[in-house]
Amino acid sequence: MPIAHYETYTKMLDNAYRNGFAYPAINCTSMATINAAIGAFAEMKTDGIIQFSLGAGSFASGLSVADSVEGCIALAEYAHRIAERYDVNVALHTDHCQPDKVDGFLIPLIEESERRVADGGKPLFSSHMMDGSAIPLEENMDISVGLLKRLAGIGMLLEVEAGVVGGEEEGAAGAEGRAPEELYTTPQDMVEVYRRLGEVENGRYMFAATFGNVHGHYKPGTVKLKPNILKEGQEAIKKVFGAEAYFWLVFHGGSGSSREEIQETLNYGVVKMNVDTDTQYAFTRPIADHMFKNYDGVMKIDGEVGNKKVYDPRTYMKKAEQGMRDRVKIAVEDLKGAGKSLGR
């Protein structure tokens, strides 16, 4: 089906919110990883989200070009073509963009979507993220409101973040040097986010509140997850703005979290969970296995010629795609999304 835009995307997110599940948002860097993600969504009969970071865009554009914008446009155009071959809805998103990267990354991508809409088409992406977690909330919201106004004008959504996610992910803010309480978004901050973004006419957005989550794998006990913070935030905005108020929440840094912890957040309005570290490993592990098992075939040892059947990149890249696809399916199960596609 066509890439999901405003009407379908908002229906997807409301479907998740009302029915207690979430979409895995899979970070992709290539055609192979896009194929793995969408193939898994289709197999599990779920809709889903694929997303590209600045680093992914730079990688996809090649060593000589190394342009995040051009690479993300190329990945998105491929996703548009291949998504048409599947019977599930797929939304296209860009991941963490810090304030100092907005002008050089988000604005050119938004301009590309504005151009397409002006020509009678649809936006290239479904949504973008502005990660203002490292700056004061007022400044964060000033930038986010401006972006949301612009996106609302072309039928796109915004994701914002307030509070610090620990660890490291594509240059995203980490916990080093930050007070422990900064890993937890306060109800007061959540009320302010709702107030400021609610001022944007027709503006729809997702909110990545922080509750002790970290990017990357970590040992149990390193950071204390407090999912109840999400519940308290939803209750706070209802108290101030009325019973109909709610956030579409995003869970960043879910790798290493238990299924029980992940599923608890679904009760509090999480509709999107980013998945990257685990799928990176799932993609690489079959390649490593292939190399170890076929060492004398992929290497030309002692004057031999090797074995083209095992050093042909297609051989091990198919295994990598399947490995990642299998891991995405686990994410769908963890998030209770199997069989819940909106369909056509």
Residues involved in catalysis: 95
Classify burial at 175, counting beta carbons within 10 Å of its beta carbon; exposed 0-12, middle 13-18, buried 19 or more: buried
Distances (CA, A) of 74 to 34, 88, 188, 201, 302: 12, 21, 40, 31, 42
Length of the chain: 344
Whole-angstrom distance, CA of residue 139 vs CA of residue 247: 20
Classify burial at 68, counting beta carbons within 10 Å of its beta carbon; exposed 0-12, middle 13-18, buried 19 or more: buried
3-state helix, strand, coil in the chain (%, to 5): 50, 15, 40
Token pair recorded at residue 197: 């973004």
Q: Which of 344, 289, 337 is nearest to 43 (CA)?
A: 337
Whole-angstrom distance, CA of residue 175 vs CA of residue 232: 22
Residue-wise DSSP of 10-66: HHHHHHHHHHT--EEEEE--SHHHHHHHHHHHHHHT--EEEEE-HHHHHHHT-TTT-
Token pair recorded at residue 343: 């369909």
Q: Which of 335, 340, 185 is nearest to 260 (CA)?
A: 335
In 316-334, which positions are buried (b, 16+ CB within 10 angstroms) versus exposed (e)?
Answer: bbebbbbbbbebbbbbbeb
